Amino acid sequence: MAPTVYFVTGANRGIGFGLVEALANRSGVLVFATARDPARADRLNKLAEENKGKVVVVKLEVTSDEDAKKAAEEVKKYTDKVDVLIANAGVSTGSGPVEKVSTADLHTVIDVNVGGPLRIFQALLPLLRASSAPRVYGISSTMGSIAANLDATMPAEMTGGLYTVSKSGLNSLFARIHREHADKDKMTVVLLCPGHTQTDMGNAGAQFFGMDEAPVKLDDSIKGLLTFIDDESGKYAGKFMSFDGTERTW
């Protein structure tokens, strides 16, 4: 039986690495795990070495059109399909109130958090179409919810910054992908919030807000995300779900 083929962006650390590590423990999988600079991705390279034949490290700078195309060509050396795309890579550039953030930071965070998923989706689309049941997941954030941003009970600083703007953009992009490909390509498209997780980026954000660390343990986040990623029923298609099982408002 052919393996289930996964493609995970931003796999060098945090949530991306946690997902790849969990998937590598399974049988019947082939996981393509991306890093901006594979030569420096020590943990990821070690994981791939320990799981030869199941984990392949792929170079991908998500702001590069050329890298996205080359990544797709690398996948084709091993397989003729991708069953599951997990667009996880992201940055949190541009914290602070609107009156103080810079347009340079805006360009950066949008290019990574929205442009990156768009590039790799476009590059892998022929391979996704070759799957009998393609599934595409975007790692978003409740901070990208416009409803949450308008909630007067939510402290403004908790929903501020350009990261919020970029995740709203990602949500809109994935809504379009769902509308355009759900019927035509039998594609399941789901947005996932991993929670405020204890990763390097999550803990840095927590400290910015005066906390010692983020409240959600990485293992709990990964376990919750995989319940959706593993679901093949299509019941979450076009939805914005949290790792804790609840549906998020847009």
Whether 184 is catalytic is: no
pLDDT of residue 160: 66
pLDDT of residue 204: 62
Q: Is the pLDDT of residue 201 over 80?
A: no
Q: Looking at this protein, which amino acid is placed at residue 149?
A: N
Give 52's pLDDT tier (boundaries 50, 70, 90).
very high
Whether 167 is catalytic is: yes
Which of 6, 137, 163, 236 is flagged as catalytic?
Answer: 163
pLDDT tens digit sequence for 204-218: 665 556 667 766 788
Q: What is the CATH number of domain 4-242?
A: 3.40.50.720
pLDDT tens digit sequence for 58-71: 999 999 999 999 99
Which of 54, 81, 167, 236 is flagged as catalytic?
Answer: 167
Domains of the chain, residue spans: 4-242
pLDDT of residue 16: 97
